[in-house]
Each structure stands twice: as structure tokens, then as C-alpha cells.
Amino acid sequence: MGDVQRQRPYVPARTLDTEFPLIDSDPHFRRVLRYARREDYAVAAATAAAGPSLMLVWERFAPSYVGKGGFAPIMRLAGVIGITAGFLQFYNRSIFRFYGLSENQREREMDMREMVDKVKRNEPLYGKSTLSPYMQGVASRNSRYAGVWLHIIPWFNFVNHEQHGVDTAKYYQQAERELEAERTKAL
């Protein structure tokens, strides 16, 4: 019998039919945060402030009469819930651009620049991982398009892997064009 190594099947990323191009079907948590726009921060701040603000308005128009120390814990809870909701809204707006569910021209340019620079430096496109290829696949399958269900269960990708649902050849081709242009310019 000897050593028989089973090849595990590769499960390709499913692509969604969206109006804008897919950048990444499973972006790393830090990458989603880095690519956020200013308006994402503004929406997150407004969402975070909405909960405590509503509690103050309700207390003003319909007092709870809970006594001296009763309102502070309610405001703290409303603050925590508001901050959590603000962060999830912020993350959702940013990750939807990766999926192509909303306008993503700026993010596509940032993605191309980041990946081409990595190709030029001869670095792995999506970072180094200490996990086996199988475990990287498991992590990818568990968090792929997880941002769509973020309002049900917050699930983030913290694993570097190579399964992102995009053809990486475009990064290498662009790097070749840029390197050729640099060589031609230098002559």
C-alpha cells in the first residue's frame, strides 16, 4: 500500500454577477480597513452616535424615572451597541466594494498599485501564511463572501491565502509593462 497521498479537491471561488468588477472575494481584515473611504468613517460615526442620541431623545420626551444611577448604564450599553453597529456598517461598506456590489474604481486602482508593487518586490501577493494549503482553503471557504452576511454573524478573514477569486495574471502583466517602460525610459 505504501504512502498514498490524497489530493484534496480545489473549490474555486464563486463569482457574483455584479455591476462592478470583483477585486477580491475574501479580502484580509486589515486590507478592508486600509481601503476604506472617508465617507465610510462618516457613516460609521453617524451610526455609532445614533443609538446614544436616540436614548437621550427618548429620555427627554418620555422620561424613564430610573433614578440617579439608572440612566448611565443604559447609555453605556447604547454606546457599546452603537460603536459595534458603526464598525459593522463601516466594514460592510468597504467590503462591498471588494465584492463589486458598489462603485469601486478607487479600490481597483489601489489594488492594482499594491499588487504590482508586490510583484516588483517579488513578494507573495496576498502575504505569507504558516498554515498548510488545506487549512488555507478551509479558511478561505469559511470566510469567502462573509461580508454579505455580516449583519447575521460577523465573520472576518484573518488568514493569508491565495484563494481570492480573481485572476492574478493581470498584476504580473502590469508589472511587466511598468518594468519595460522603466527600462525604456532609462535608455
- The confidence score (pLDDT) of residue 113 equals 94
Q: Tell me: pLDDT of 12 over 80.
A: no
Residues 84-121: pLDDT tens digits?
Answer: 999 999 999 999 999 999 999 999 999 999 999 999 99
In Å, what is the CA distance from 55 to each residue of 47, 79, 85, 128? 13, 10, 15, 46
Residue given cell 450599553 in the structure block: 77
For 71, other C-beta atoms within 10 Å of its C-beta total 16
Q: Which of 91-105, 116-130, 158-172 has the highest mean pLDDT?
A: 91-105
Cβ atoms 141, 11 nearer than 8 A: yes
Q: pTM for this one? A: 0.85
> Is the per-residue pLDDT at 13 higher than 70?
no
Q: What is the 3-state secondary structure (H, E, C) of 5-54?
A: CCCCCCCCCCCCCCCCCCCCCCCCHHHHHHCCCHHHHHHHHHHHHHHHHH
Asked if residues 131 and 159 have their Cβ atoms less than 8 Å apart, the reply is yes
Q: Residue 3 above 60 pLDDT?
A: no
Residue with cell 504580473: 172
Joined together, the cell numbers standing for residue 83 give: 460603536
- What percent of the chain is modeled with pLDDT above 70? 93
Examine the pLDDT at 8 and tell me if it is beyond 80. Answer: no
Q: Average pLDDT in the 154-176 region?
A: 88
Instruction: State the cell numbers at 66.
Output: 430610573
Residue 4: its pLDDT value, please?
A: 60
pLDDT of residue 165: 80
